[in-house]
A and B are shown apart, each in its own frame.
Chain A
Amino acid sequence: MGTGLELNDVQGNILNGYGFGHAVHLLLHGETPAAVQQCLGELGGRVTTAARWPEGECPRATLNVAISYHGFERMGLRRPLLDRFPEAFRVRTRERAPDLGDVGPSGPEYWDEHLGSGAVHLVLSASARERDDLAEARRQLREEIGAIPGLGVVAEQETHALPHRREHFGYADGFSQPDVEGVDRPSSHRAPEDSGVGVPLPDGGWRPVRLGEFLLGHLDEDGRVDSEPDPDLVGNGTYVVYRKLEQDVRLFRDVLAEAARRTGLPEELVAAKVMGRWRDGTPLATQPARSDPGQLDDVATDQPGNDFRYLPDDREGHRCPLGAHVRRVNPRDALDFGGAVRSSGRLTARHRIIRRGMPYEDPPGPDGDARRGLLFVCYNADIARQFETIQAHWCNDGDTFGLGDDRDWFIGGAGGSGKMTIPTRDGRPRFVEVHPDLVVTRGTEYLFAPGMRALRGLAEGAFG
């Protein structure tokens, strides 16, 4: 392998999203190697691939599967293979929690019991356009799982899209995704070379990110092919970060109002400054001011812009603050160290992720409050270099951007309060407080979504 993309060997939803608004994740525990293998054997044939659906043949429901390190262990994978998985994948996420800022209210002692404990071996994910179809897919899956001796469901997580692609704080979400080499984007998107979602080139153009950043067994941005621990096992597969992030919507409204009062800026502008996009998705980079920001609540712009860079015009962050969420998590061309690095986009290209999260709302707890948030799901070839770097170094800290101890306003509250800076043209920067309770982690699982051939091999015990 190394070149060429066989879409029918890659699981679906990774390279292109299904665009379905309802999904359920079944978190499974297997008592024996046979239980896990039997599950892969019986369901493996139904797993949805990345192959294009023929015109008019969109399935009612999709099915995908991902395996945790403990799942591989339970399946009886050979020890030398297990040992050569990357450390981030092998260690329980509960143990990695402090490094990711999951402390205080985000600490593992408050996580959903089963998450990150090693109890989850497989995650089956079904999604559908219609709620009824999802319910049917779920019922059928549960029946099949129930018939496999030694296999049990430890938890279920439903997620449902909100109207106009909003997440719970009211921002349109989920449209800036990396443009990936060799992957056709749906025709609704503009041509990849000018869409601003790949790698910014010094000449002003863009190119797609190398496939190896998202699928193992392919050339990555460093010109290498990662096939550890075994090309047949990991080729065309990807690592999955499954992270349950609870959002406190009431607190969000309060702290936004408070920030507007303290900074003297309109509330909707503060909301845009901390995110880097207006709530309807329009980027601050292309539209730094608005005459009527009051109308942003109900619709997402049809095609939120992505074709922008931060340099040279916005080096100071007067349009989009250096510490705004979208500028931190994808700095595009901005990491040029004051002009010292010409092809600055290449650095960012090593830290991209494909996001497929969806909002969730769990039934009310004992206090009667429904718990809601974002079930953040992302795909990457190297969890430590991609997802964890973004979270730990780019969001929980400001050094990379010359921002000292400033944090990401949404997800950087680790270990106490801090601030975020909004630079302004009138010379006086404004400061907003970062609240550790705004978004709290309720658990993390690191998984691997193998290619289709590897799934068959696993079901047959080929790597034991």
Chain B
Amino acid sequence: MNVTWPATPMTVLTPVVPGREQALRESLERLSGLGAPPFGRVAETHFARWVVVSGAPWRYRGLPRRTRPLRMQYLLFTSTANRPPEQHVEDLRTGLRGDADAAWGHCVGYPGYQQPAGFRRYLLHNRLPTHRWFAAYDATVQEVGDALDLRRRHTRFAVRMQEVDDLGLQKAFLSEFGDAELPDAELPDAELPDAELPDAELLDTELLDDGT
């Protein structure tokens, strides 16, 4: 399985069993009321949502009132994951487990998560083609999470290190973030007495030369 698979969209539309619409709504409400969102357990998933498409006499401001309700209601599922579709479907099954049944269980013909082949067939069969799609960046969920972590570390560092002079800042920065590119042993600081080099020059020459 390839975790660096490019981000891929998935759209699945399934009809709700007539009479079960309210139960589905309540079920979704319960799922979104839980502490940790169920989709958080599905590997490599950026975004995912379930939406009940009701065509009810719902009005959006500025649009004319819709007069003809849909004959059936549908459950719309959309997601974006760094997975090939088949793999993503399997991840949904093993990640959501009972929560998958709590939603799709109200839909026509759904076999349940304990039927691997049936589950796979059901979602892929009801999958809609995605004609246009846009991803703002090309990164895995892991990379996004790591980048956010790094930003948090930078923030804490920036706040903490303001009083430090340039040389101290360089040292602290390298010891906090520079481990991979510039091992501590190569730091030139021991040979450089503060007074002899103007700060700017130090930063221009030594840091860049050593770091690249």
B159 within 8 A of A: yes
Chain B interface, DSSP helix/strand/loop, else mixed: helix
Partner of A430 from the list B59, B160, B162 (CB cut-off 8 Å) is B162
Partner of A418 from the list B62, B155, B162, B163 (CB cut-off 8 Å) is B155
- B-chain residues with CB within 8 Å of residue A228 when the two chains form the complex: 59, 61
A224 within 8 A of B: yes
| Cβ–Cβ contact B59 & A262, under 8 A | no
Partner of B162 from the list A226, A263, A404 (CB cut-off 8 Å) is A263
- A-chain residues with CB within 8 Å of residue B33 when the two chains form the complex: 95
Return the CB mask of B160-202 against A: 1 if under 8 Å, else 0: 1011000000000000000000000000000000000000000
Residues of A in contact (CB 8 Å), total 17
| Cβ–Cβ contact B163 & A262, under 8 A | yes
A421 (CB) vs chain B CBs: closest residue: B158
> Known: A224-B62, A226-B61. Contact between A431 and B152, CB under 8 A?
no
Task: Name B17-66 residues within 8 Å CB distance of A.
Answer: 33, 59, 61-62
B125 within 8 A of A: no
| Cβ–Cβ contact A405 & B159, under 8 A | no
B155 (CB) vs chain A CBs: closest residue: A419
Complexed CA–CA distance, A431 and B159 (Å): 5
- A-chain residues with CB within 8 Å of residue B151 when the two chains form the complex: 404-405
| Cβ–Cβ contact A224 & B61, under 8 A | yes
> Known: A84-B59, A224-B62, A228-B61. Contact between A262 and B155, CB under 8 A?
no
Interface footprint category on B = 10 to 19
- B-chain residues with CB within 8 Å of residue A312 when the two chains form the complex: none
A264 within 8 A of B: yes
| Cβ–Cβ contact A405 & B162, under 8 A | no
A406 (CB) vs chain B CBs: closest residue: B155
Task: Name A245-262 residues within 8 Å CB distance of B.
Answer: 261-262
A181 within 8 A of B: no
| Cβ–Cβ contact B159 & A432, under 8 A | yes
**What distance in Å separates the Cβ of B34 from its nearest Cβ neighbour in chain A?**
12
A405 (CB) vs chain B CBs: closest residue: B151
Complexed CA–CA distance, A224 and B62 (Å): 8
Complexed CA–CA distance, A264 and B152 (Å): 23
A420 (CB) vs chain B CBs: closest residue: B159
Complexed CA–CA distance, A263 and B161 (Å): 10
Complexed CA–CA distance, A431 and B155 (Å): 9
**What distance in Å separates the Cβ of A254 from its nearest Cβ neighbour in chain B?**
15
- B-chain residues with CB within 8 Å of residue A430 when the two chains form the complex: 162
A307 within 8 A of B: no
| Cβ–Cβ contact A264 & B61, under 8 A | no
Return the CB mask of B62-95 against A: 1 if under 8 Å, else 0: 1000000000000000000000000000000000
| Cβ–Cβ contact B61 & A419, under 8 A | no
**What distance in Å separates the Cβ of A224 from its nearest Cβ neighbour in chain B?**
6
Complexed CA–CA distance, A297 and B122 (Å): 69
- A-chain residues with CB within 8 Å of residue B152 when the two chains form the complex: 405
A388 within 8 A of B: no
A221 within 8 A of B: no
**What distance in Å separates the Cβ of B40 from its nearest Cβ neighbour in chain A?**
14
A267 within 8 A of B: no
**What distance in Å separates the Cβ of A80 from its nearest Cβ neighbour in chain B?**
8
A194 within 8 A of B: no
| Cβ–Cβ contact B158 & A431, under 8 A | yes
A361 within 8 A of B: no
| 10 cross-chain CB contacts under 8 A | A84-B59, A261-B163, A262-B159, A262-B162, A262-B163, A405-B152, A430-B162, A431-B158, A431-B162, A433-B159
